[in-house]
């Protein structure tokens, strides 16, 4: 998987299934979920995920309740980054549980299945702390998977 192109990344992650999971999760919350998939690189995944968080404008949600799932399939590595609003509500134990879920799928190469499951987990937790405002709720960030 080393040196994966954007085209090959799109074959590893089923964008339609992930986007459907994001949209389903966001129907119950004012929170925002994004997924970013990166090609191979040797740097720190958490640090690069933080750069993607800022590049995608995740910190600009009204309630600071954006969550980014950043993954590097070629390295079977990822980072789950929550903005300050959601992190204050769920604490470190939730991020550990979400990471364990992703890790179990990713080590088997089941990237799409892991993403769909963790998006559901994150969506449920966002809904508990940031319920949807119904028709007044607006989608602040794109639901599309970012292949960068």
Average pLDDT over residues 60-82: 93
Average pLDDT over residues 110-120: 95
Can you tell me the distance from the alpha carbon of 128 to that of 89, in angstroms, rounded to the nearest whole number? 10
Reported as a pLDDT band with limits 50, 70 and 90, residue 8 is low
Reported as a pLDDT band with limits 50, 70 and 90, residue 107 is confident
Contact assessment for residue 79 and residue 103, using Cβ atoms and an 8 Å cutoff: no
Can you tell me the distance from the alpha carbon of 97 to that of 37, in angstroms, rounded to the nearest whole number? 21
Average pLDDT over residues 110-135: 93
E-assigned strand segments in the chain: 32-37, 66-72, 77-82, 146-147
Q: What domains lie within the chain, and their CATH numbers?
A: 6-147 (3.10.310.50)
Q: How many residues does the chain have?
A: 148
pLDDT value for 75: 84
Q: Rounded to two decimals, what is the model's pTM?
A: 0.92
123-140: per-residue pLDDT in tens? 999 999 999 988 778 889
Whether 38 has a pLDDT exceeding 50, the answer reads yes
């Amino acid at each position: 998987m080393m040196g994966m192109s954007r085209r090959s990344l799109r074959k590893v992650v089923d964008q339609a299934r992930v986007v459907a999971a994001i949209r389903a999760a966001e129907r119950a919350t004012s929170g925002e979920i994004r997924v970013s998939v990166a090609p191979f690189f040797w740097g720190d995944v958490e640090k690069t995920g933080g750069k993607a968080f800022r590049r995608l404008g995740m910190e600009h949600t009204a309630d600071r309740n954006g969550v980014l799932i950043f993954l590097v399939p070629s390295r079977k590595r990822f980072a789950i980054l929550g903005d300050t609003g959601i992190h204050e509500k769920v604490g470190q134990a939730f991020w550990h549980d979400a990471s364990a879920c992703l890790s179990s799928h990713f080590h088997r190469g089941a990237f799409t299945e892991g993403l769909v499951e963790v998006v559901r987990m994150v969506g449920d937790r966002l809904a508990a702390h940031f319920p949807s405002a119904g028709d007044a709720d607006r989608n602040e960030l794109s639901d599309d998977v970012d292949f960068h």
